[in-house]
């Protein structure tokens, strides 16, 4: 749309899209509003829109993904999660334990995370464990602890949902639904979170290509939830010196193709305590919009992922290092656009 297009002009375009049997998606930007069209099988004649009032241009998106693409929205998206942003000029820090274990562990960790200046707290109440006999998480009881953490420390809550019931519970207690690596291509779950209006942290699948990750994000956005944050968490390769191989080249690749923010998880990406801080620094250096880090008051006693958990003091040191690095390489604030979604 033209910069001076009115709300009525936008509505008119949406009506025309609907009358054709398609779906319109309004994405307001800094200078103009873009309207994406989905549901069409072939190309649509631009003549349907070109001469409507307020329309600047009708552009054919050439990629298999549309709503996430920079062709639709050239400025980077800033996603509001609770009362803080992911994707803006500030480096987003999300930290907390792998799994919520008990009140004492959760609150001790939250105190460290809040003291570090991070704005987001992570912790799984529903855990996707490889073995059915491993600790599966506290379930709703854990989510209630997270809601207490938010009240007490003002931290915004990021937590995983593995199924529709979990999504409903996370929407009730949390600020951001994490879709784990193992569910990245659970298409019915992606559609379900797409129908909520809670932001989604979408982790890259264990063997997913960039295109597969982007199309998974597109699934969520096609349902009308435009608040998606991507996360690189390492992939399976033949290398066995780390739990996974962290693929940092995906960060500039994501920024090249999409307007979505992308964060890095060096905890799952390496699986090794001593590698987490070096790879966190590297992630910031390649332009990641944030980090998600596992911290535990006593890693040797952790019920899940203890080998990659940082102690509180290691975590504090990581934060001071990555903040210094981020300041050094920051892009001008004008690269980002506030406000997103209809």
Binding site for ligand PEP (CB under 6 A): 98, 124, 128, 180-182, 203, 233, 268
Q: Verify binding: residue 98, Mn ion, rule CB under 5 A.
A: yes
Name which of 218 and 305 has its Cβ closer to Mn ion.
305
Name which of 72 and 309 has its Cβ closer to Mn ion.
309
DSSP 83: T
Strands 120-122 and 92-96, bridge-based pairing:
parallel
Distance set, CA 14 to CA 19, 27, 55, 60, 164 (Å): 9, 12, 12, 17, 30
Residue 206's Cβ-count burial label (10 Å; 0-12, 13-18, 19+) is middle
Q: Per DSSP, what are the bridge partners of residue 229?
A: 201
Name which of 134 and 329 has its Cβ closer to ligand PEP.
134
Minimum distance from CB of 128 to ligand PEP (Å)? 6
Cα-Cα-Cα-Cα dihedral sign, residues 225, 231, 233, 236: positive
Minimum distance from CB of 234 to ligand PEP (Å)? 8
Q: Please identify the residue of the shown chain whose CB is closest to the bound ligand PEP.
A: 180
Name which of 98 and 246 has its Cβ closer to Mn ion.
98
Minimum distance from CB of 150 to ligand PEP (Å)? 18
Cα-Cα-Cα-Cα dihedral sign, residues 126, 101, 322, 339: positive
Name which of 206 and 253 has its Cβ closer to ligand PEP.
206
By C-alpha distance, which of 312, 265, 277 is closest to 160? 265
Do 116 and 319 form a contact (C-beta atoms < 8 A)?
yes
Minimum distance from CB of 6 to ligand PEP (Å)? 44
Tokens of 201: 């942290």
Name which of 160 and 227 has its Cβ closer to Mn ion.
160
Name which of 55 and 170 has its Cβ closer to Mn ion.
170
Report the run of H or E that residue 229 belongs to, with start and end: strand 228-232
Site pattern 13..52 for Mn ion (x: CB under 5 A): ----------------------------------------
Minimum distance from CB of 121 to ligand PEP (Å)? 13
Q: Which does 203 bind (CB under 5 to 8 A by kind): ligand PEP, Mn ion, none?
A: ligand PEP
Distance set, CA 256 to CA 28, 130, 133, 271, 331 (Å): 20, 34, 42, 28, 15
Supply the Cα-derived Rg of the chain in whole angstroms. Answer: 20
Strands 79-81 and 84-86, bridge-based pairing:
antiparallel
Please tell me the distance from the alpha carbon of residue 244 to that of residue 267, in angstroms, as a whole number. Answer: 10
Q: Verify binding: residue 71, Mn ion, rule CB under 5 A.
A: no
Tokens of 22: 């398609």
Q: How many residues bind Mn ion (CB under 5 A)?
A: 2
Minimum distance from CB of 98 to Mn ion (Å)? 3
Q: Verify binding: residue 305, Mn ion, rule CB under 5 A.
A: yes
Name which of 63 and 129 has its Cβ closer to ligand PEP.
129
SS3 label, residue 329: helix
Q: Which does 53 bind (CB under 5 to 8 A by kind): Mn ion, ligand PEP, none?
A: none
Provide the binding-site residues for Mn ion, judged by CB under 5 A: 98, 305
């Amino acid at each position: 749309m033209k910069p001076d297009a009115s709300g009525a002009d936008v509505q008119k375009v949406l009506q025309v899209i609907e009358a054709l049997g398609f779906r319109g998606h309004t994405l307001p930007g800094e200078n103009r509003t873009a309207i994406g069209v989905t549901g069409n099988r072939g190309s649509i004649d631009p003549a349907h829109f070109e001469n409507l009032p307020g329309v600047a241009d009708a552009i054919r998106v050439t990629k298999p993904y549309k709503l996430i693409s920079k062709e639709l929205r050239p400025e980077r998206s800033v996603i509001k999660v609770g009362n803080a942003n992911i994707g803006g000029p500030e480096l987003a820090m999300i930290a907390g334990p792998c799994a919520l274990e008990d009140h004492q562990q959760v609150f001790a960790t939250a105190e460290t995370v809040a003291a570090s200046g991070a704005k987001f707290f992570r912790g799984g109440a529903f855990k996707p464990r490889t073995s059915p006999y491993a600790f599966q998480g506290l379930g709703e009881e854990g989510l209630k602890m997270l809601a207490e953490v938010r009240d007490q420390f003002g931290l915004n809550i990021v937590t995983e949902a593995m199924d529709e019931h979990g999504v409903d519970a996370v929407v009730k207690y949390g600020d951001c639904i994490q879709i784990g690596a193992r569910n990245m291509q659970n298409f019915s779950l992606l559609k379900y979170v797409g129908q909520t209006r809670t932001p989604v942290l979408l982790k890259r699948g264990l063997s997913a290509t960039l295109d597969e990750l982007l199309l998974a994000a597109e699934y969520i956005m096609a349902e009308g939830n435009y608040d998606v944050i991507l996360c690189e968490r390492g992939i399976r390769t033949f290398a066995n010196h780390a739990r996974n191989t962290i693929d940092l080249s995906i960060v500039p690749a994501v920024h090249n193709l999409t307007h979505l923010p992308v964060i890095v998880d060096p905890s799952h990406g390496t699986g090794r305590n001593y590698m987490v801080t070096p790879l966190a620094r590297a992630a910031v250096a390649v332009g990641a919009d944030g980090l998600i880090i596992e911290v535990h008051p006593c890693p040797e006693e952790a019920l899940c992922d203890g080998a990659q958990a940082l102690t509180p003091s290691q975590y504090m040191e990581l934060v001071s290092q990555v903040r210094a690095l981020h300041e050094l390489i920051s892009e001008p604030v004008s690269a980002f656009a506030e406000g997103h979604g209809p």
